[in-house]
């Protein structure tokens, strides 16, 4: 039975909701999860980053995920522009040796069950219809329990919105969701059997990314023997193709037939029905407000090129869990904990934003609107935010204080692209690089997508997240 009141209400039971619920329940904080669907349910976003491994361990789910039997992902491969290179996660000293390629229906259910086992109250097939506010502060939620066809209201001290793309706070309350002007892309994908992923010597389980003139293609091997194969192209490009009276299915099939590498992999393969999503790159002006936090896709989502979706979902929820626990345990005042959440989450997002936009910058010479994505850094975000995020990445490795604010977004994209280019050349054994240069490049890449909020020397307002003996905010010495 759904209670009339709870300390924390979590809307949504995906990786974001499960993570924050697990953290809070571990602290003995009464936590209620209302999930719209019944798990297992389908979801895209199957390729996980190695950064998730320590986070899964931190919430006590690492061994469960390991035992489940997902495909181990040792790294990835890029056929990007006119270059080909592969990488392994263990190239960075101390990094996990692998992550996983997962069926999200199974992975998400495993995490939600784990949250329930930890002590969170999990209720599925319950749709939250409205958030109630008192003097501007979120205090309660109205819901429909579709299993019993009943309605109700639940009061809370804090709300964590993990409702995914539907984003009940962003879409129904603040109405401040902003879609990126540049990343108005369309993803079309399907699942294939009988693929030939072993035609080269790439380590089994690796993600493959292949750039094409109108976008790029992904290949993700899954544990049931199928391979997730997706194409990403601009909305304008798809519209042009549709104007030729071609269906999305025909466009998808033609893109795969036209690429030489994809044609080899899929020569004797058969696919299932196609799926499609459009305009999925967006962010909210703020990730928190009076009485509420927004995590994962409810707050923002970036282009899927670097598989940042589940990473940002769990990062934001780990930070939110630590922040809320610190408030309710009387360790920190609300304003300070909320500032830590807002600042550290936005830095994490901006780091990947720069990574993706700079990655596209490697293809600056290619024709077509798709390859102009590096403009995003100076187009969709203030120079002040970009400067703060980039300085936090380079950690004093370079002095950019002389750059005029009006040019900073462009400089950021260029500098990160240079680092990416250097990393590519290292992996391709193109050029001579000393040990110090290699070490600096690996440190830079690690900092770009790493878990900086867990480091005392990267403290924000003197705070960082500790995971032992429990996940909570701590004062840096």
Q: What is the enclosing helix (H) or strand (E) of 16? A: helix 15-26
Question: CA 425 → CA 85, 420, 421, 437, distances in Å?
Answer: 9, 9, 6, 12
d(CA 422, CA 445): 11
Question: What is residue 24's three-state secondary structure?
Answer: helix
- Reading the block at residue 463, the tokens are 């705070």
What is the domain class of 185-278 according to CATH?
alpha beta
d(CA 29, CA 40): 26
Distance of CA 114 to the CA centre of its chain: 21
What is the domain class of 5-70+103-180+284-346 according to CATH?
alpha beta
Question: CA 20 → CA 29, 170, 387, 404, distances in Å?
Answer: 11, 19, 29, 40
- Reading the block at residue 373, the tokens are 């994505």
Question: What is residue 189's three-state secondary structure?
Answer: strand
d(CA 423, CA 11): 40
Q: What is the DSSP string of 97-116?
A: S-EEE--HHHHHHHHHHHHH
Judge contact between 182 and 380, C-beta under 8 A. Answer: yes
d(CA 378, CA 357): 10
Per-residue pLDDT of the chain (477 residues; tens, 9 = 90+): 999 999 999 999 999 999 999 999 999 999 999 999 999 999 999 999 888 999 999 999 999 999 999 999 998 888 877 778 787 877 666 678 899 999 999 999 999 999 999 999 999 999 999 999 999 999 999 999 999 999 999 999 999 999 999 999 999 999 999 887 667 789 999 999 999 998 898 999 999 999 888 889 999 999 999 999 999 988 888 888 888 889 999 999 999 999 999 999 999 999 999 999 986 789 999 999 999 999 999 999 987 877 888 999 999 999 999 999 999 999 999 999 999 999 889 888 877 776 676 666 555 433 333 334 334 334 444 545 544 444 444 332 333 333 334 444 455 555 655 666 676 677 666 667 777 776 666 655 555 555 777 888 778 889 999 999 999 999 997
From the number of C-beta atoms within 10 Å of its C-beta (0-12, 13-18, 19+), residue 224 rates as exposed
d(CA 314, CA 429): 34
Question: Any idea what DSSP says for residue 398?
Answer: S
Would you kindly state where each structural domain of the chain is located, as residue ranges?
5-70+103-180+284-346, 185-278, 351-452
275-278 and 185-193 strand pairing? antiparallel
Residue with tokens 């949504």: 12
């Amino acid at each position: 039975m759904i209670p009339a009141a709870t300390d924390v209400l979590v809307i949504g039971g995906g990786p974001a909701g499960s993570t924050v619920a697990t953290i809070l329940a571990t602290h003995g904080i009464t936590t209620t999860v209302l999930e719209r669907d019944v798990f297992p349910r389908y979801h895209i976003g199957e390729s996980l980053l190695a950064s998730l491994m320590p986070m899964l361990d931190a919430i006590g789910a690492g061994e469960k995920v390991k035992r489940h039997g997902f495909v181990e992902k040792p790294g990835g491969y890029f056929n990007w522009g006119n270059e080909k290179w592969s990488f392994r996660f263990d190239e960075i000293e101390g990094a996990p040796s692998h992550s996983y390629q997962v069926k999200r229906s199974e992975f998400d259910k495993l995490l939600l069950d784990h949250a329930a086992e930890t002590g969170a109250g999990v209720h599925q097939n319950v749709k939250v219809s409205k958030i109630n506010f008192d003097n501007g502060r979120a205090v309660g939620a109205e819901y429909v329990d579709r299993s019993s066809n009943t309605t109700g209201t639940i009061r809370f001290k804090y709300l964590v919105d993990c409702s995914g793309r539907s984003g009940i706070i962003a879409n129904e309350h603040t109405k401040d969701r902003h879609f990126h002007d540049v990343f108005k892309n369309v993803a079309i994908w399907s699942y294939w059997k009988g693929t030939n992923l072993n035609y080269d010597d790439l380590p089994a389980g690796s993600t493959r990314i292949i750039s094409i003139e109108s976008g790029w293609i992904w290949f993700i091997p899954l544990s049931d023997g199928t391979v997730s194969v997706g194409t990403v192209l601009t909305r304008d490009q798809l519209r042009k193709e549709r104007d030729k009276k071609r269906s999305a299915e025909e466009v998808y099939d033609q893109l795969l037939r036209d690429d030489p590498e994809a044609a080899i992999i899929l020569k004797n393969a058969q696919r299932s029905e196609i799926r499609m999503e459009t305009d999925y790159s967006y962010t909210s002006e703020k990730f928190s407000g009076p009485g509420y936090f927004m995590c994962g896709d409810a707050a923002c989502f970036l282009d899927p090129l670097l598989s940042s979706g589940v990473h940002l979902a769990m990062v934001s929820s780990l930070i939110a869990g630590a922040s809320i626990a610190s408030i309710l345990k009387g360790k920190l005042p609300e304003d300070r904990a909320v500032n830590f959440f807002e600042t550290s989450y936005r830095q994490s997002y901006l780091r990947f934003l720069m990574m993706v936009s700079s990655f596209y910058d490697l293809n600056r010479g290619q024709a077509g609107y798709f390859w102009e994505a590096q403009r995003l850094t100076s187009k969709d975000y203030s120079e002040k935010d970009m400067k703060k995020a980039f300085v936090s990445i380079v950690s004093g490795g370079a002095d950019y204080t002389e750059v005029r604010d009006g040019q900073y977004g462009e400089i950021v994209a260029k500098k990160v692209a240079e680092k990416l280019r250097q990393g590519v050349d290292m992996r391709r054994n193109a050029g001579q690089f000393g040990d110090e240069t290699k070490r600096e490049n690996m440190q830079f890449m690690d900092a770009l997508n790493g878990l900086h909020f867990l480091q005392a020397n990267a403290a924000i307002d003197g705070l960082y997240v500790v995971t032992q003996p429990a996940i909570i905010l701590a004062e840096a010495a």
